[in-house]
C-alpha cells in the first residue's frame, strides 16, 4: 500500500508541471492575441470617431444660413486670391509640427474642421483641419498652409496631408493604391468638389514645384510620407477638378463602401472559421487522448482481472 501511495504521489508531481505549462501557454497565447488585436481595435475606434466628426461637420454646415455660407466663402476666395504661390516648408518638418492651431482658415471652420476628404478607392472619409501641427495630423488630414483653401476655383492648388503607417489610424496609409483616373471628393461648407487623379509622384521633402498653383487649373494634391516608417520622401497624388454628378458619384461611393464591407465580412468570417477549425482540432485531440486513456484503463482492468483469476486458479 505504501508503494502504491508513493507511485500516485510521483504521478501527481509529474502531472503538475505539465498542467502549469499548459496554462502558461494559454496565457501567453491570449496575451499575444490581445496584442495582435490592439491595432485593429484602435483603427476601428478611430474610424468610428472619424465618421462621427464628419457627421458633426455636415450637421453644423446644414445649420448655417445661406448668407453666412456666402460670406465665409467670399473670405476664403479672397484668401486664395492673395496667395503668392510660395510653398516653402515641408509639412513634416519639426518646426512646422510644433506650431499651434492655424488661424488663417477660421472662415471655413465648423467645429474646428474646414471640410472632409472622401477617397472611395481606399475607403477613407477623413476630417480636414487647418494647418499641419502634429496634434492635427494625429487626428485627421491637415491643410498645408500657404496653399489654396479647399474650395475649388480657377488657378487654385490645395494640398491636404496626413500620416501613413500609424498603428492606431489608417489615414493615408493606402494612398499608394490610387491609380490615374481614380476619383476623390472634397466636401466644404458650400459644396462637394470632385477630383480625378492625373499625377502620382514620389518627391524629395524639399521639392515643392509640384505643389505650386498652375494658372488656369483647379488642383488638389494629397500628400503623405513614404516609405512607411522611413519617411525619407513624400508621396503626392494630384487630382484635377471634374464635374460632380451626384447620381454617378454617389453610386460610386456606395458601391465602393459595399465592396469594402463585403471584404471586411469575408475576413471576419475567415478568422472565425480558423478559430473554429483550431477549436475542433483541439477537441478531437482531447477526445482522442480521453478515449486512449479509457482504453488504457480497460486494458489494465483486464490484466488485473486475469491476474486475480490466475491467483484463484493457483489457490484452487
Give catalytic residues, as residue numbers.
Answer: 163, 225
In whole angstroms, what is the distance from residue 157 CA to residue 80 CA?
A: 9
* Residue among 195, 188, 181 nearest 240 (CA): 195
HSE (CB half, 13 Å, CA atoms) of 257? 10
* CB 104 within 8 Å of CB 145: yes
In whole angstroms, what is the distance from residue 70 CA to residue 86 CA?
A: 27
In whole angstroms, what is the distance from residue 85 CA to residue 56 CA?
A: 33
Conformational region of residue 165, where left means phi above 0, alpha means psi within -120 to 50, and beta covers everything else: left
Pairing of strands 183-187, 192-203: antiparallel
Residue corresponding to grid cell 505650386: 212
Amino acid at each position: 500500500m505504501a508503494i502504491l501511495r508513493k507511485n500516485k504521489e510521483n504521478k501527481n508531481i509529474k502531472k503538475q508541471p505539465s498542467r502549469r505549462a499548459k496554462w502558461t501557454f494559454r496565457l501567453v497565447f491570449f496575451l499575444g492575441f490581445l496584442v495582435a488585436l490592439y491595432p485593429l481595435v484602435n483603427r476601428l475606434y478611430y474610424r468610428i470617431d472619424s465618421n462621427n466628426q464628419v457627421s458633426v461637420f455636415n450637421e453644423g454646415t446644414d445649420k448655417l444660413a445661406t448668407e453666412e455660407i456666402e460670406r465665409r466663402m467670399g473670405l476664403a476666395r479672397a484668401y486664395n486670391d492673395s496667395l503668392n504661390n510660395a510653398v516653402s516648408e515641408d509639412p513634416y518638418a519639426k518646426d512646422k509640427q510644433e506650431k499651434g492651431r492655424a488661424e488663417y482658415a477660421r472662415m471655413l471652420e465648423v467645429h474646428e474642421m474646414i471640410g472632409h476628404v472622401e477617397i472611395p478607392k481606399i475607403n477613407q472619409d477623413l476630417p480636414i483641419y487647418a494647418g499641419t501641427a502634429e496634434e492635427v495630423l494625429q487626428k485627421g488630414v491637415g491643410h498645408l498652409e500657404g496653399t489654396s483653401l479647399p474650395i475649388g476655383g480657377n488657378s487654385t492648388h490645395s494640398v491636404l496631408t496626413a500620416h501613413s503607417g500609424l498603428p492606431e489610424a489608417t489615414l493615408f496609409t493606402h494612398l499608394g493604391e490610387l491609380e490615374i483616373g481614380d476619383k476623390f471628393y472634397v466636401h466644404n461648407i458650400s459644396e462637394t468638389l470632385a477630383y480625378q487623379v492625373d499625377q502620382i509622384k514620389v518627391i524629395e521633402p524639399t521639392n515643392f514645384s509640384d505643389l505650386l498653383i498652375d494658372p488656369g487649373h483647379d488642383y488638389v494634391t494629397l500628400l503623405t510620407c513614404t516609405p512607411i516608417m522611413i519617411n525619407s520622401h513624400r508621396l503626392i497624388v494630384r487630382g484635377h477638378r471634374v464635374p460632380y454628378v451626384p447620381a454617378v458619384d454617389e453610386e460610386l461611393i456606395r458601391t465602393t463602401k459595399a465592396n469594402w464591407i463585403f471584404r471586411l465580412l469575408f475576413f471576419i468570417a475567415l478568422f472565425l472559421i480558423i478559430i473554429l477549425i483550431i477549436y475542433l482540432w483541439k477537441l478531437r485531440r482531447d477526445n482522442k487522448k480521453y478515449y486512449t486513456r479509457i482504453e488504457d484503463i480497460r486494458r489494465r482492468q483486464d490484466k488485473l482481472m486475469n491476474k486475480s483469476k490466475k491467483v484463484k486458479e493457483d489457490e484452487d
